[in-house]
């Protein structure tokens, strides 16, 4: 069990640029979640996948955001035409969906700064 | 709709003193409840969880929490604070539908715990 990993850990970009983040979940976990955490706030749910299917998206996820999990393993989160308000920590989590294995394991996050 | 309220954005205690972090929830169906800890510039680590078994839940690092349905509370406690407990703590809820959970977590705003020597 190597844990959830995220890449990059930090990203600085200029307003209007596109960015893409990657999340590698724990290998046997079929559910994967993305959250966004702004300074001084708790994480807010963005979207989740069961295997390769994206089953729910938050209203926070504007049209500029897209997430994929093409083979049911790693996931990417892309933000197009970034805005300063997108500056936040983006957290990925994974878990199993069998039984009562309800624990979500979080990665270290990708901190995005939009200048 | 489900929500979580953490009372007190900052809590300060002396080393060796009791730690009490408050969490109240709102959920239209039986909840699953969680406490996570976050150290600076890191992800979240699970401390403990309530999943409709015992109402008193013991977690890692000496923390425990008690689920009180009548008070809709899930307060986190630790009898004796250590310097290493200084971090931000988040209470979270997901809902329990038919014995399974869809898993989406709703978090409180967090409580920063400071421990003084």
Partner residues linked to B110 by β-bridges: none
Among residues A78, A63, A87, the alpha carbon closest in space to that of A13 is found at: A87
Contact state of B90 with A43 under an 8 Å Cβ cutoff: yes
Can you tell me the mean pLDDT for A40-61? 90
pLDDT band at A10 (very low <50, low <70, confident <90, very high): very high
Decide if pLDDT at A109 tops 90: yes
CA distance A107 to A87: 18
Number of C-beta neighbours around residue B55 at 10 A: 12
CA distances to A20, A87, B12 from A33, rounded to whole Å, are: 16, 19, 32
pLDDT at A114: 97
Inter-residue contact B17 to B58 (CB < 8 Å): no
For chain A, what is the mean pLDDT?
92
pLDDT at B100: 47
pLDDT tens string B50-81: 987 788 999 999 999 999 999 999 999 999 99
Decide if pLDDT at B99 tops 50: no
CA distance A102 to A104: 6
Contact state of B94 with A95 under an 8 Å Cβ cutoff: no
Can you tell me the mean pLDDT for A93-108? 81
All residues of chain B having their beta carbon less than 8 Å from the beta carbon of residue A95 are 103
pLDDT band at A71 (very low <50, low <70, confident <90, very high): confident
CA distance B81 to B79: 7
Can you tell me the mean pLDDT for A40-53? 92
pLDDT tens string B11-29: 999 999 999 999 999 887 7
How close does chain A come to B49, measured CA to CA in Å? 8
pLDDT at A99: 60
**To which residue do tokens 């989160």 refer?**
A77
How close does chain A come to B117, measured CA to CA in Å? 25
How close does chain B come to A67, measured CA to CA in Å? 16
Can you tell me the mean pLDDT for A8-17? 97
**Chain B 42-61, residues with CB within 8 Å of chain A CB atoms:** 42-46, 49, 51
């Amino acid at each position: 069990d190597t844990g959830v990993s995220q890449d990059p850990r930090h990203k600085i970009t200029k307003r209007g640029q596109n960015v893409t983040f990657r999340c590698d979940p724990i290998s046997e976990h079929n559910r994967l979640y993305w959250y966004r955490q702004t300074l001084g706030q708790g994480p807010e749910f963005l979207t989740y996948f069961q295997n390769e299917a994206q089953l729910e998206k938050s209203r926070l996820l504007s049209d500029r955001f897209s997430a994929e999990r093409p083979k049911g393993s790693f996931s990417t989160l892309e933000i197009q035409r970034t805005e300063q308000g997108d500056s936040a920590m983006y957290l990925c989590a994974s878990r199993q969906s069998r039984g009562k294995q309800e624990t979500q394991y979080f990665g270290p996050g990708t901190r995005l700064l939009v200048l | 709709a489900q929500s979580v309220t953490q009372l007190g954005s900052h809590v300060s205690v002396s080393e060796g003193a009791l730690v009490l972090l408050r969490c109240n929830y709102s959920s239209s169906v039986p909840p699953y409840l969680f406490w996570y800890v976050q150290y600076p510039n890191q992800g979240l680590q699970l401390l403990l969880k309530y999943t409709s078994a015992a109402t008193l839940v013991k977690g890692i690092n000496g923390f425990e929490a008690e689920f009180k349905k009548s008070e809709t509370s899930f307060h986190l406690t630790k009898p004796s604070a250590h310097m290493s407990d200084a971090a931000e703590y988040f209470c979270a809820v997901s809902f329990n539908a038919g014995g399974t959970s869809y898993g989406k977590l709703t978090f409180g705003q967090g409580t920063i715990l400071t421990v003084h020597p």
